[in-house]
Amino acid sequence: MDDNQAKLMEFDIDNIRLYVNDEDREVDEENEGNEKPEGEGATAQALIQVFNDNFVAYYRSHVAHVNIMGRNFTSDHQLLGEIYEDLQGQIDVQAEIIRTLKEFMPCCISDVIADSHIDSSDLDGDSEFLLGMIKEDLEHLVECYRTLMECADEEELDHIANYAQERVTAIEKFIWMLSATLED
């Protein structure tokens, strides 16, 4: 491998940005460095936080789904599958709602992980540990959605407040199912 090939292969994971099209790239480049004043767009900021936390919770629940073992493998695997598929299904929905607010979904995966309030460290342990950690992640998501609901209500964005309420209902059901599974 010559020096030119080696240079082409080097990249900085912290600066990777994903764009749907060239127009999104141009807008992002034009807006680079332009920070919003504090307090502006509380709903958008809360929604971006939900996006980040949901993304990490999705990944962690998918890891738990694949790595779970034990006597109750089949039922645990199935429950975690339902959870991760639900969370995964929200990624596009949330990104599109972010766009309706004239914002962009986070473009850099390392920013999503860094800005998430959910622990992104290794998720390794027995089935009780994995189920308990996913339950904690979901409890955190409920709080994020409640914050989103409050912001959306204040800014009279009823459709977003309604979405947040629907998500609280869906996630609370998963929390109940995990709690019942973990009960002795």
The answer to whether residue 24 sits within a structural domain is no
pLDDT recorded at residue 13: 45
Q: How far is CA 117 from CA 49, 90, 95, 137, 159, in A?
A: 8, 17, 18, 9, 25
The answer to whether residue 95 sits within a structural domain is yes
The answer to whether residue 21 sits within a structural domain is no
pLDDT recorded at residue 184: 72
How many domains does one find in the chain?
A: 1
CB 157 within 8 A of CB 43: yes
Angle, CA of 109, 113 and 118, to the nearest 5°: 155
The answer to whether residue 14 sits within a structural domain is no
Which residue type occupies 177? M
Question: pLDDT (tens digit, 0 to 9) for every residue of the chain, 184 residues total?
Answer: 555 554 444 444 444 455 555 665 565 565 555 444 333 499 999 999 999 999 999 999 999 999 999 999 999 999 999 999 999 999 999 999 999 999 999 999 999 999 999 999 888 999 999 999 999 999 999 999 999 999 999 999 999 999 999 999 999 999 999 999 999 7
The answer to whether residue 71 sits within a structural domain is yes
Q: How far apart are CA 57 and CA 12, in angstroms?
A: 24
Write out the two tokens for 67.
């790595």
The answer to whether residue 96 sits within a structural domain is yes
The answer to whether residue 9 sits within a structural domain is no
Owning domain of residue 111 = 42-182
Q: How far apart are the first and last CA of the chain?
A: 59
The answer to whether residue 18 sits within a structural domain is no
Residue 178's domain is classified under what CATH number? 1.20.1260.10
